[in-house]
Structure 1
Amino acid sequence: MGAGVIIQDVEGEVLAALSMPRSNISSPGFAEVNALWRAMQLGAELGIEHTIFKGDALGIIRAVNSKDENWEWNGPKVEVIKAVLANRPFWKIQHTYREGNKVADFLAKFAYTVNKEKVWIEDGPGGLYSFVIQDKIVMSEYE
Structure 2
Amino acid sequence: MVPLVKALKEEVLPLIHVVLEPKRFLSLHQQPVSTFPRQQARAKEAKWIPPDLHSFKTNFDGAMFTDTGKASLGVVIQDHAGEIITAFSEKIPQPPSVTYLELLAARGVAIFVHKVGLQDSILEGDSEIVINSLQKGDMFQSAYGHLFKDTLFYVHSLRSFSFSHSYRKGNSVPDALAKKASFCSNLTVWMEYVPSDINTFVLADKPSS
State the match for 2:87 in structure 1: 17
CA positional deviation for 1:123: 1.4
Q: Are residues 1:101 and 2:171 paired?
A: yes
Identity %: 28
CA positional deviation for 1:117: 1.1
CA positional deviation for 1:66: 1.1
Map 1:83-98 → 2, pairs under 5 A: 83-98=153-168
- Provide the C-alpha distance between the structure 2 equivalents of 1:98 and 1:131, rounded to a whole number of angstroms: 12
Q: Are residues 1:112 and 2:182 paired?
A: yes
- Provide the C-alpha distance between the structure 2 equivalents of 1:92 and 1:42, rounded to a whole number of angstroms: 15
- Provide the C-alpha distance between the structure 2 equivalents of 1:68 and 1:86, rounded to a whole number of angstroms: 16
Which residue, 164, 178, 195 being the options, matches 1:125?
A: 195
Residue pair 1:71, 1:78 contacting (<8 A) in 2 also? no
Q: Give unmatched runs, 5+ long, in structure 2.
A: 1-70
| One-letter amino acid of the structure 2 residue matched with residue 68 of structure 1 | D
Number of paired residues? 138
Where does structure 1 differ by over 3 angstroms across 4 or more consecutive aligned residues?
67-73
- Structure number having the greater helix percentage: 1
**Length-normalised TM-score, structure 1:** 0.86
- Provide the C-alpha distance between the structure 1 equivalents of 2:152 and 2:164, rounded to a whole number of angstroms: 13
**Length-normalised TM-score, structure 2:** 0.61
Q: Give unmatched runs, 5+ long, in structure 1.
A: none
SS in 2 for 1:88: coil
- Provide the C-alpha distance between the structure 2 equivalents of 1:39 and 1:29, rounded to a whole number of angstroms: 15
Provide, for residues 6-47 of structure 1, a one-character-per-residue CA deviation record: whole Å limited to 9, x for no partner.
100111110011101112311111111111111122212221
- Provide the C-alpha distance between the structure 2 equivalents of 1:131 and 1:73, rounded to a whole number of angstroms: 35
Greater relative contact order (CA < 8 Å, ≥ 6 in sequence): 1
CA positional deviation for 1:58: 0.6
